[in-house]
Chains A and B, each alone.
Chain A
Amino acid sequence: MPEPVGFFTDTSICIGCKACEVACKEWNQLPGNAPKFGDGFDNTGQLDAENWRHVKFIDLVPEAPAIVGNGNPWLMMSDLCKHCKHASCMEVCPTGAIVRTEYDTVFIQQDVCNGCRDCISACPYGAIGFSPISGTAHKCTMCYDRLQNGMTPACAKACPTQSIQYGTLSELQQKADARLAALRTQGYENAQLYGRDDSIYGGLGAFFLLMDKPEVYGLPNKENAGLPSRNNLGGYLGAFFVAAVGVLAGMVSFRRGTTVAPSPTPGPTQPRERPAS
């Protein structure tokens, strides 16, 4: 078994060039989509079946004129499937289409998926999209075909600033720790690693160095990073309890001898009983 691999995305050096998006589209032959024009530099919109990398632009430009030390006016982050150790999508998938590969990445088998979309309802990062063309769910494969041929995933290969780094997870974690220490030394108090340890979904195969709180980047923090199965017990117990009360209500209402308003218009023929044994 190969050692687990992954991505370390250092958002502090992302310049928002979107080379990762283009490389991903080219290698994986993803169709183009109509660009979106809003109040910012983001023309992609979100991760979906056609966009497996998405550079987020977080506009924090202050209303007052910017001065030195006035914070980070723009935060940029190349987002993707996090390849969670405890993956919500894998947990709910009823067909077994979502599997963990020999590289410890999360992969959707296109010939097994039947397009029920439960994984989309479960993914806390909104990283999975449904393709009406294939009728199945799609997301980043971490270029599984490239990995099998000993190649670096397309996005990491194309990133001009090395904001996206690919390698074995143990090696990337060391790099991330060193980078965080350097930033802290430079006074970036808000810099933090996201998904480096097991506090978020057991650890992320694609983890990040963020320059602000996770929620600023649209990522759930520790308190909100829950697996769908947390509601299994409560959901079934609640249903069982209500069903039991309902049956009790039925017993009270239907039992022989219960006094209810008699029917004034009995049918011409009484129904037959179930034949006696």
Chain B
Amino acid sequence: MAEHFVQPPHWEWYIIGYFFCAGLAGGAYTIGTMLRLWGTPREEGVARIAFLIAFPLVVLCGILLTIDLGQPLRFWHMMVNTTPGATGLNFLYWSPISLGTWVLLIFGLFSFVSFLEALALEGRIRAPGLTRALSGRGGLVLDVVGTIFALFLASYTGVVLSVSNQPVWSDSWAIGGLFVASALSGSAALLALLGRNTAGAESSEPRLQAADGYFALIELVMIAVFFLTLSPAGTLGKTLSGIWLVVWLLIVASLVPPMFGAFANGRGLQLASSTGAVGTTVARAGMSTASAVFVLVGVLLMRIAVILSAQW
């Protein structure tokens, strides 16, 4: 049984917002790369949406992290040590926040270049030099290396929690894995939602739905692993007490539609077109949108439950 006498750090809504955005930014970038690597040319449209949303989300991440600090104007102290006699760059690999700061910065650069490229390919800006440089192998290297940082960004936030002495957080090594699974699931749902209303991108929805089925299953397994790791520490009750039990049930419920393909409107439309039931089509499309939104709500709720249940 673990005994904790620590005080909570009062990481609350800004940090929850940061973890949510970091997950979606990293997850979207990863899915964008995977679609380009393994998908057909038809998947380029939704891949481009992924690269178009990743960078703005990273900017939002930086803003949320900064305003959460007690001294926001000293955000750069994360990267530069200002201790007299010990000035220099701060790269403390054993401190997840230090490591994460650098990854956020580096991923910010990758996602910015990918963002510009996506804008150029969409014809919204003119950057022939950039698109030429990123055509072929150069673009592939950018996407794949950027994805390594993207996956780190989506997961390290969980490791930040584990590397502490807080009840729940420090009792489990599984939070990083749980966060990355949830990030992939939420990003697939977000891209399906955005792609549905974008000309040329809607054809990728069945593939996103198929992927999200797997991602949701992985997240469900990780939730079980998370609970299993808390049990011997005696802190499972803390994260499941009171309202949190309801929240966790909602989180698990949000994973059910993607696992059964309910948010893909492809099947609904197929069924409707064969029967000619226009009303059914509309109803199914509406339900699938609601399911995808529910997945995103689940991603947010999971971070709220993990972060706040430990501090209450």
Using CB atoms and an 8 Å cutoff, list the residues of chain A in contact with chain B: 46-48, 88, 91-97, 99, 109, 111-118, 120-126, 128-132, 134-137, 215, 218-221, 224, 226, 228-229, 231-232, 234-239, 241-243, 245-247, 249-256, 258, 260-277
Contact = CB atoms under 8 A, between A and B. Distances in A.
A267 B200 contact: yes
A74 B286 CA distance: 65
Contacts of A220: 3-5
Contact of A231 (B132, B173, B208, B222): B173
Interface string B1-22: 0111111111100000000000
B131 interface: yes
B81 A95 contact: yes
Interface centre among A120, A235, A237, A265 (most CB of B within 10 A): A235
A94 B94 CA distance: 9
B202 A272 contact: no
A96 B94 CA distance: 12
A234 B158 CA distance: 11
Interface stretch (B53-61, B68-76, B241-249): B68-76
Given A117-B10, A238-B173, A251 B42 contact: no
Contacts of A265: 202, 269
Contacts of A224: 2-4
B198 to A, nearest CB: 8
B31 interface: yes
B184 A261 contact: no
B96 interface: yes
Majority-rule SS of A interface residues: loop
Contacts of B208: 253
Contacts of B10: 117, 120, 130
B219 to A, nearest CB: 9
Interface of B: 2-11, 30-31, 34-45, 48, 68-72, 74-75, 77-78, 81-83, 86, 90, 92, 94-98, 101, 121, 131-132, 134-137, 139, 151-152, 154-156, 158-160, 162-166, 169-170, 173-181, 184, 198-211, 214-215, 218, 222, 264, 266-267, 269-270, 273
Contact of B201 (A121, A246, A267, A274): A267
Contact of B203 (A46, A115, A266): A266
Contacts of A231: 159, 162-163, 170, 173
A120 B4 CA distance: 13
Contact of B97 (A118, A124, A221, A269): A118
Contacts of B139: 274
A102 to B, nearest CB: 12
Given A239-B159, A264-B266, A264-B269, A135 B69 contact: yes
B13 to A, nearest CB: 14
A266 B72 CA distance: 48
20 contacts: A88-B165, A112-B81, A116-B97, A120-B8, A122-B163, A122-B164, A123-B6, A123-B165, A124-B165, A137-B70, A232-B159, A250-B211, A254-B38, A260-B206, A261-B206, A264-B273, A266-B203, A271-B200, A274-B44, A276-B136
A48 B136 CA distance: 57
Given A236-B176, A239-B177, A260-B206, A121 B77 contact: no
A97 to B, nearest CB: 7
B218 A245 contact: yes
A121 B69 CA distance: 14
A91 B93 CA distance: 10
A112 B155 CA distance: 28
Contacts of A264: 266, 269-270, 273
B285 to A, nearest CB: 11
Contacts of B200: 267-271
Contact of B184 (A46, A246, A268): A246
Contacts of B151: 239, 243, 246-247
A245 B151 CA distance: 12
B3 A254 contact: no
Contacts of B71: 113-115, 135-136
**Residue from B159, B208, B264 with most neighbouring chain A CB atoms (10 Å):** B159
Contacts of B174: 238
A88 B179 CA distance: 24
Nearest to B68: A116
Contacts of B169: 121
